[in-house]
């Protein structure tokens, strides 16, 4: 063998380990890349039941990734961390309660987290409900216990801090559509409702209260009675005008809903019976406002209490269609009641006649 051939073979032997290492590294890199591509782009396993994952405010990406991997929403926590870091979404994850059905790619899972597609419970609180009715509605929606919410709203820390004792937050729970986390506590729900209420207390409202010479509790109390009396929007300001006229003259308001309030849990007590039973809320028994609201009024009733119609009406009675007949004197009021009774009697008679013809 010539010297040149030996030298060439020697060089080949020296380079062979490096070449093997290079090929091995290339194969390993390809394998890792393939695995990464699989983990990133292949959908995760579809889950038999949705996985509930909670992302707390301030949690690290590593913690969130571990939760998702533990719930089998993604195949690898490390792959999710790499994906989030490379996509720039690592710091855009929103806290909340998430529900994952599984079977999604990494990008889809991250999309939910970045958009904040959290699970919420929607609950509608209509105008005119009492505190207890709101508590029961929240419980029916799966938001805690009615008794717990009522305790929080009557004597909780937030209520005490706002000086709403001893009657609590009755009247201050603003009617609206709310969206809560299914894990929301009674104090969080109460806080959201009170925050919505106090948003209505603008400087203009406070100035108007000063002009009327009333406190916020007196305003809400008046608005709550208007809310419970008015069945038609157009009657609100007139009803408010009647009540302010009666207050100015030292006359009892004689509002049926105030008498009914004390017996809300006793369906055996009729309105006719309730108005004859003296209670601290029954405005047939005394002149002036009751000690607090009897319901939670909406903004229209609050506005009516702030801007009552200028009127000399002192009485009103409800018609069957929800509207009211207003009167200036008690004699007019009695005639209005008698006429409504005659109309109701004629309607009942016609109904019986039509029923007999049908037979």
Q: What is the pLDDT of residue 155?
A: 93
Using DSSP, state whether 312 is helix, strand or coil. coil
CA 269/CA 286 separation, integer angstroms: 20
Cα-based angle 129, 134, 140 (whole degrees, multiple of 5): 130
Domain with CATH 3.30.1490.480 in the chain: 39-119
**Alpha-carbon torsion 258, 260, 263, 265, what sign?**
negative
Instruction: Note the CATH number of domain 39-119.
Output: 3.30.1490.480
| C-alpha to C-alpha distance for 218 and 245, rounded to whole angstroms | 15
Question: Which of 259, 261, 260, 221 has its CA nearest to residue 243?
Answer: 221
Q: Please answer whether residues 186 and 152 qualify as being in contact, where contact means their C-beta atoms are separated by less than 8 angstroms.
A: yes
The Cα angle at residue 37 between residues 32 and 38, in degrees rounded to 5: 95
Q: Which residues of 271-304 are buried (b: 16+ CB within 10 A; e: fewer)?
A: eeebbeeebebbbbbeeebbebbbbbbbebbbbb
Residue among 279, 220, 303, 290 at smallest CA distance from 253: 290
pLDDT, residue 116, reads: 92
Q: Compute the half-sphere exposure of residue 186: CA atoms within 13 Å on the CB side of its CA.
A: 23
8 Å CB contact between 258 and 271: no
How high is the pLDDT of residue 168?
95
* Alpha-carbon gap, residue 333 to 318, rounded angstroms: 11
Residue 27: what pLDDT? 40
**C-beta of residue 208 within 8 angstroms of C-beta of residue 307:** yes
The one-digit pLDDT tens for each residue of the chain (359 residues) are 455 555 555 554 555 555 454 444 444 444 344 444 545 567 888 889 999 999 999 999 999 999 999 999 999 999 999 999 998 999 999 999 999 999 999 999 999 999 999 999 999 999 999 999 999 999 999 999 999 999 999 999 999 999 997 889 999 999 999 999 998 999 999 999 999 999 999 999 999 999 999 999 999 999 999 999 998 989 999 999 999 999 999 999 999 999 999 888 787 888 889 889 999 999 999 999 999 999 999 999 999 999 999 999 999 999 988 899 999 999 999 999 999 999 888 877 766 665 555 55
Contact 317, 324 (CB under 8 A): yes
Helix (H, G, I), strand (E, B) or coil at 287: coil
At the second CATH level, the architecture of 121-198 is 2-Layer Sandwich (3.30)
CA–CA gap between residue 82 and residue 191 (Å, rounded): 39
Strands, E assignment, the chain: 46-55, 96-102, 121-124, 177-180, 315-318, 324-327
């Amino acid at each position: 063998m010539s010297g040149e051939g030996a030298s060439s073979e020697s060089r080949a032997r020296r380079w062979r380990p490096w070449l093997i290492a290079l090929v091995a590294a290339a194969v390993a890199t390809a394998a890792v890349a393939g695995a990464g591509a699989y983990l990133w782009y292949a959908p995760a396993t579809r889950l038999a039941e949705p996985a509930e994952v909670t992302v707390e405010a301030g949690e690290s990406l590593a913690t969130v990734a571990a939760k998702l991997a533990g719930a089998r929403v993604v195949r690898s926590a490390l792959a999710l961390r790499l994906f989030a870091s490379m996509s720039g979404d690592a710091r855009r994850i929103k806290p909340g309660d998430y529900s994952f059905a599984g079977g999604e790619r990494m990008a889809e899972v991250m999309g939910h987290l970045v958009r904040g597609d959290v699970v919420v419970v929607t609950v509608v609180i209509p105008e005119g409900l009492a505190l207890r009715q709101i508590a029961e509605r929240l419980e029916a929606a799966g938001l805690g216990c009615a008794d717990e919410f009522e305790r929080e709203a009557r004597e909780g820390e937030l209520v005490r801090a706002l000086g709403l004792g001893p009657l609590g937050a009755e009247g201050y729970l603003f009617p609206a559509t709310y969206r809560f986390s299914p894990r929301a506590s009674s104090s969080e729900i109460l806080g959201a409702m009170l925050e919505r209420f106090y948003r209505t207390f603008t400087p203009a409202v406070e100035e108007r209260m000063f002009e009327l010479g009333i406190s916020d509790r007196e305003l809400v109390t008046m608005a709550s009675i208007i809310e419970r009396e008015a069945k038609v929007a157009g009657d609100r300001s007139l009803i408010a005008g009647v009540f302010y006229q009666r207050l100015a003259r030292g006359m009892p308001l004689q509002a049926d809903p105030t008498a009914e309030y004390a017996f809300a849990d006793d369906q055996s007590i009729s309105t006719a019976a309730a108005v004859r039973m003296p209670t601290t809320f029954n405005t047939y028994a005394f002149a002036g406002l009751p000690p607090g609201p009897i319901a939670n009024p909406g903004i229209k009733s609050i506005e009516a209490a702030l801007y009552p119609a200028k009127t000399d009406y002192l009485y009103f009675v409800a018609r069957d269609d929800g509207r009211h007949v207003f009167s200036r004197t008690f004699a007019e009021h009695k005639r209005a009641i008698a006429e409504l009774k005659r109309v109701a009697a004629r309607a009942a008679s016609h109904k019986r006649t039509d029923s007999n013809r049908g037979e």
